[in-house]
Structure 1
Amino acid sequence: MTDPFVHPYIPNTAPKSKAAMLAAVGAASVDEFYADVPAELRLDRPLDLPTPFTAEQDLVRHVEGLLAKNVSTRQRLSFLGAGTYHHYVPAVVDEVINRSEFLTAYAGEPYEDHGRFQALFQYQSLMAELLAMDVVNVPTYDGFQATATALSMAGRMSGRRRVLVASDVLPDKLSKVRDFVRVLLDLEFVDTVDGVADVTGLASRLAEDVAAVWVETPSRTGALEARLQEIADAAHDVGAVLVVGTDPIGYGVLTPPAEQGADIVCGDIQSLGLHQWFGGAHGGFIAVHDDPRFIMEMPSRLFGLATTDVPGEYGFGDVAYDRTSFAQREEGKEWVGTAAALWGIAAGVYLALMGPQGMRDLGEVLLARTRYAQRALAEIPGVALGDRAVHLREFTIDLSGAGLGAADVVDALRAEGIEPGVPVDQHQLLVCVTEMTSQRDIDRLSAELAALAARTGNAAAGASDTDPTDPGATTVSAPILEEQSA
């Protein structure tokens, strides 16, 4: 009989250790811990792992070989976005957050960790100014969680279950939100029109059992919602809350959702001084007005400014600490554990460095380069823009008119050192540009895509019996959008 396998790096794989742990929690097998995971998501086989290396140097060599397979967006031209973006991170951001008092700090209390609390208070204040809101939380794990929490807040406040989703949402985000709120809320989807919310269709679905209307701007495809105030008014007429998921990177030039009727604004701070890396550093924010009904539903920590026993001196500490799960434990409205506070400090440094004018300049650059990229790609015969909305940073192109598949374009241009975007479906490609994307970069993508389309068209023409001089065999170019100001 073969002895049971005990991993050299994981002592708890020893049979006696496993049995003792199962007995301690009253479980018959490890499978009981995964009862809530659907069967179709389970692997049902051992992981495909190499035989354990007993020598450390062999393990190091193996891991370094795996890591060497990664290629960062600094090594090739990238138009990838879809939730994690390649923005410039000033050197001072990394310098500050790598200081030992921030990098190693955990959950210090005011008497031992004044600096960290003050830094996060400054972050909250800068975010509140950018978003035209009054209260912003210490970052949650990511923007997905922040959005799920924002919707849960609306459900708890109203006692209602229905949430109307009025925008195109990133699939990964939708999956996380749906899983998070499924016990409390039911998500219903309203079709979009030309990339943005169908306000008429949305209004017809609103009723007094709707807890919230959820709008994403920019949407999954980078479309900016132009009728937020109308949506807010319609939602408020039936007592519903308007929850707006957004990216704060554009609000140096765009009108914040809070000034267009939004009750809760949420999203991710990855764009604000956090690296793209291999999936990004992420942190979620939730912002509300100075309204106790909303503030007391926020599960996250809030740091505020307070007087001390010493005249003229101030300190920084928790606001309404008794509403959090830190104080209420299992009686808390929503559990909050270790979050992304370090990334809040990074975003705070970034915002302080940029200032209002810097954020304005950045917003204008993003809008201009997005528009330039749209025009350049839409001029390629057979390539069309996905919609006529105003876009920030991302947009889709339809390649069907050029006889191209989105996955095929990715494979072909990747061989040329270009990551052209993320396939949305068979013929649609999501393209992203930032301030790191120069005009020359966009021109290169356009030229490579045009050449690929021409080669595909020539191959198709050579295999066809259609006479290319036949007036009926025309090539249709995508219309160019009229100039639109932000």
Structure 2
Amino acid sequence: MQNSTVHPYIPNTVPSVIEEMLAVTGASSIEEFYEDIPQSLRVKGLLNLPEPFLAEAELEEHVTGLLNKNRSTREVISFLGAGVYNHYVPSVVEEVINRSEFLTAYAGEPYEDHGRFQALFEYTSMMGEMLNMDVVNVPTYDGMQATATALAMAGRITGRSKIIVVSDVNPDLLSKVTDYVRSHTELVFVPTVNGLVDTAALAAQVDDATSAVWIQTPSFHGALETSGQAIADLAHEFGALLVVGTDPIAYGSLTPPADWGADIVCGDIQSLGIHQWFGGGRGGFIAVHDDPKFVMEMPSRLFGLASTSVEGEYGFGDVAWDRTSFALREEGKEWVGTAAALWGIAAGVYLASMGPTGMADLGNTVLARTAYAQQQLAAIDGVELGDSAAHFREFALDLSASGKTAAEVVTALRARDIEPGVAIGEHGLLVCVTERITTAHIDTLVSALTDFLKEK
């Protein structure tokens, strides 16, 4: 039976309006509009929602009650990661992005530009310098979209449809990429060995139909790939591209993928001066060399120095605009709508305030504390490391020999105001160590985990 309640904020819930829209479209029911959505993604049954609130005050009270159930990672010792990271955000970042000329910098054009274009140009310039790439886009919606777009670009550039996935990829990222490219691309998976790419297995899979070899480094488990050059050589031997998904915060201390053969580098900028925002602070980047073959396949906005209507005068603005879906509309190679311009400005302020020395210190600190955490946790009876690769920020623990499941560990330590990590499978625990995690925090985790595993 159709609900007769009219939603106060959605006028199209009026039953008569629904019937009118169905009549115009020729559909017999709303369900027809959702036929393309796989059954596996659909909610079965009803959502756990209250009855509609007809008064705004009641709705506000309800939502406030839901929000009060959350606990910020500032209230606990948090080793949570898996895609959103608790890095420190300098106060100057919030000061700048809360200025009125930046705060509404979404994707549309302002009537007047009070520095937004230059701010984004500076961000892309600093990203390019850190990644040793020439061209970086204005941030897309998130790193998942950026990665999917990078792989789609590889398909268009090579005219091929096979992507070889060689790293342990975040399941959420893989899900989004698969959904994005599944209509025109085949994904082939090569299992990792000890957390790293199995180059022998890759050599058996790469061929003339391969558009790209896709590496994630650090991987979902935080492993740093050490055979990048050999992988790049394998891909290039068959005319395929090397697409590297990564986190830019690592490249104050690590060699950027461009230096070992990456053709396209992509990922998320959340770690660069953007709070976790309960999973909402995301922005995707794509970086390529200064090659028109690659640049003209980038659907995202690019900001650079452009000539003006006054001869000899230059300003900051869109470059190569004619390649975008904004200019080409339905003839565009790929549609890109939502941008995350404000987060690009935040990342630019962050990079400027940190500088090369600060980014190097940060990277070295995270590497050192990650190694310390691995060493101390692996010394606990019943706890083993998931692999012996070098790791940045994250690593997996195997709790199989402890007699406890990962879910039990999370529940027990959460009661002690410690978020020990993300449970992956029955006995896997993904632990994340940022610069905000001190050796004292690590020692606290070790002590609490040791005590819990000793319990009968």
TM-score by length of 1: 0.91
Measured against aligned partners, the alpha-carbon deviations of 1:132-158 in whole angstroms (never above 9, x if no partner) come to 000000111111111100110111111
Q: Is the 8 A contact 2:106 2:340 kept in 1?
A: no
Verify the 8 A CA contact 1:114 1:316 in the aligned structure 2.
no
Residues of 2 paired with 1:196 and 1:205: CA distance?
16
Counterpart in 1 of 2:220?
A: 220
**Aligned-residue offset at 1:187:** 0.5
Instruction: Please tell me whether Structure 1 or Structure 2 has the larger radius of gyration of its CA atoms.
Output: 1
Q: 2:72 corresponds to which residue?
A: 72
Aligned to 1:36: 36
List per-residue Cα deviations over 1:227-277 (Å, max 9, x = no partner).
Answer: 100000010000000000000011001000000000000000000001012
Q: Which residue of 2 aligns with 1:436?
A: 436
Residue 295 of structure 1 is matched in structure 2 by: 295
- Contact 2:404-2:427 within 8 A present in 1 as well: yes
Letter in 1 for 2:399: L
Report the more deviating stretch, 45-54 or 30-39.
Answer: 45-54
The CA deviation string for residues 61-103 of structure 1, in whole angstroms up to 9 with x for no partner, is: 2111111111110111110000000000111111111111111
| Contact 1:218/1:391 (<8 A) preserved | yes
SS at match of 1:212: strand
1:388 is displaced (CA, Å) by: 0.7
CA distance in structure 2 between the partners assigned to 1:108 and 1:65 by the alignment: 34
Partner of 1:481: none
Match of 1:247 in 2: 247
1:313 offset after TM fit, Å?
Answer: 4.2
Q: Tell me the secondary structure at the aligned position of residue 192 of structure 1.
A: coil
Matches within 5 A, 1:231-242: 231-242=231-242
Contact 1:110 1:117 in 2 (8 A): no
Other structure's SS at 1:167 match: coil
Please tell me the root mean square deviation across aligned C-alpha atoms, in Å.
1.7
Relative distance call for 1:59 and 1:208 in structure 2 (3 A) is same
> What CA distance in whole angstroms lies between the structure 1 residues aligned with 2:166 and 2:159?
21
Give yes or no for contact 1:199–1:231 (8 Å, CA) kept in 2. yes
After superposition, the Cα gap between the structure-2 partners of 1:2 and 1:216, relative to the gap in structure 1 and judged at 3 Å, is closer
In 2, the alpha carbon distance for the partners of 1:132 and 1:140 equals 20
Q: Give 2:54's aligned residue.
A: 54
CA contact (8 A) 2:421 2:432 kept: yes
Paired position in structure 1 for 2:274: 274
Q: Using a 3 Å threshold, how does the CA distance of structure 1 residues 223 and 306 change in structure 2: closer, same or farther?
A: same
Per-residue Cα deviation, 1:425-450 (whole angstroms, up to 9, x for no partner): 11111000101101110000000111
Corresponding residue for residue 408 of structure 2: 408
Aligned to 2:330: 330
* Separation (CA, whole Å) in 2 of partners of 1:2 and 1:137: 46
Counterparts of 1:85 and 1:191 in 2: how far apart (Å)? Answer: 26
- Render the CA deviation track for 1:440-472: whole Å, top value 9, x for unaligned: 1000000011111222xxx3xxxxxxxxxxxxx
Name the counterpart of 2:155: 155
Q: Return the offset for 1:3.
A: 8.2
2:348 paired with 1:348: yes
- Is the aligned partner of 1:285 residue 2:285? yes
**Given the superposition, is the C-alpha separation of residues 102 and 3 from structure 1 closer, same or farther in structure 2, using an over 3 Å criterion?**
closer
Is the 8 Å Cα contact of residues 114 and 315 (structure 1) preserved in structure 2? no
Contact 1:8/1:52 (<8 A) preserved: no
Identify the residue that residue 483 of structure 1 maps to in structure 2. Answer: none
**Amino acid paired to 1:264:** I
- Are the aligned partners of 1:110 and 1:317 in contact in 2 as well (CA < 8 Å)? no
Structure 2 residues not aligned, in runs of 5+: none
| DSSP 3-state at the match of 1:328 | helix
How far residue 356 of structure 1 moved from its aligned partner, in angstroms, is 0.3
Give the drift of 1:304. 1.0
Paired residue secondary structure (2:279): coil
Conserved? CA contact 1:94–1:346, under 8 Å: yes
Measured in 1, the distance between the counterparts of 2:91 and 2:25 equals: 48
TM-aligned CA deviation for residue 306 of structure 1:
2.2
CA-to-aligned-CA distance 1:358-381 (integer Å, 9 cap, x gap):
000000000000001001101111
Give the drift of 1:309: 4.6
Distance 1:186 1:3 in 2: 43
Q: Which moved more, 1:307-316 or 1:92-101?
A: 307-316
Q: For residue 242 of structure 2, give the secondary structure of its aligned residue in structure 1.
A: strand
What percent of counterpart residues are identical? 67
The answer as to whether partners of 2:106 and 2:342 remain within 8 angstroms in 1 is no
Q: How many matched pairs?
A: 456
Per-residue deviation, 1:18: 1.3
User: Distance between the aligned counterparts of 1:219 and 1:105, measured in 2?
Assistant: 32
Give TM-score scaled by structure 2 length.
Answer: 0.97
Q: Bigger CA drift: 203-212 or 82-91?
A: 203-212
Q: Judge conservation of contact 1:155–1:212 (CA < 8 Å) in 2.
A: yes
CA drift of 1:44 comes to 4.5
- Alignment partners' CA distance in 1, 2:452 and 2:2: 57
- Greater CA drift, 17-26 or 356-365: 17-26
Task: Kindly provide the CA deviation profile for residues 310-342 of structure 1, in whole angstroms up to 9, marking residues without a partner as x.
Answer: 566430121111110001101101001121111
TM-aligned CA deviation for residue 14 of structure 1? 1.0
Report what 1:188 is aligned to.
Answer: 188
Distance in 2 (alpha carbons) for counterparts of 1:257 and 1:233: 13
1:86 aligns with 2:86: yes
- One-letter identity of the residue aligned with 1:229: Q
Partner residue of 1:468? none
Equivalent residue of 2:286, what SS?
strand
Determine the C-alpha separation between the residues in 2 that align with 1:140 and 1:2.
Answer: 38
Find the aligned partners of 2:108 and 2:383 in 1 and give their Cα distance.
Answer: 55
Q: CA deviation at 1:39?
A: 2.0
**Partners in 1 of 2:235 and 2:247 — Cα distance?**
22
Q: What secondary structure, in the 3-state scheme, does the structure 1 residue paired with 2:252 have?
A: coil
Q: Which residue of 2 aligns with 1:13?
A: 13
SS at match of 1:242: strand
Structure 1 unmatched ranges of 5 or more: 460-486
Change (3 A) 1:315 1:158: same
More deviation, 354-363/110-119: 110-119
3-state SS of the aligned residue for 2:278? coil
- Which amino acid is the alignment partner of residue 307 of structure 1? S
Conserved 8 A contact 1:138-1:344: yes
Name the CA shift for 1:232/1:60 in 2 (closer, same or farther; >3 Å).
same
Greater CA drift, 403-412 or 109-118: 109-118
Q: CA deviation at 1:206?
A: 1.2
